Amino acid sequence: MIARTLRQLAFVLALALVPALVSGAWQLAWKKEEPLAPGEVRLATAREWGDKVQWVDARARAKYERTHLPGALLLNEDEWDTLVKPFIDEWDPDKTLVVYCDGGTCDASHAVAARIRKELSIRDVFVLKGGFAEWEGK
């Protein structure tokens, strides 16, 4: 009697396990990471670099003033001419620049990174894949 009950319990558990495994595999496949575009870096990599990173916030001033990554410097397209001098004064040439904007479809970080490379001749510049939203875990 006990053996039969245990076999039935094992059968029910096996039946429950199949959909759980299928669901787990589907969710893992669904969360595949998008490939990095040239000049992009993932948050995990930037975090590994630790204090060798200088964050650059390419968002509007209002968003920067509301919240930003610790130690981030503000440098955006709208205020480039005003912000570039203070940026250069604060820039640490021994650090890698990682530029971010809101994330998703935000291209401001790519535009600012391109201007930093071209106009300031700074080569060690990356764009944070997923932007500020990635930092917040959204």
Pairwise CA distance, residues 135 & 68, whole Å: 10
**pLDDT at 108 (0 to 100):** 96
Longest alpha-carbon distance in the chain: 83
**What percentage of the chain reaches a pLDDT higher than 90?**
68
Residue 54 confidence (pLDDT) above 90: yes
**pLDDT at 1 (0 to 100):** 74
pLDDT, one tens digit per residue, over 68-82 is 999 999 999 999 999
Please check whether residue 104 is in contact with residue 136, taking contact to mean a CB–CB distance below 8 angstroms.
no
Nearest to 125 by CA among 116, 135, 134: 116
- DSSP H or E stretch at residue 53: strand 53-57
pTM metric for this prediction = 0.76
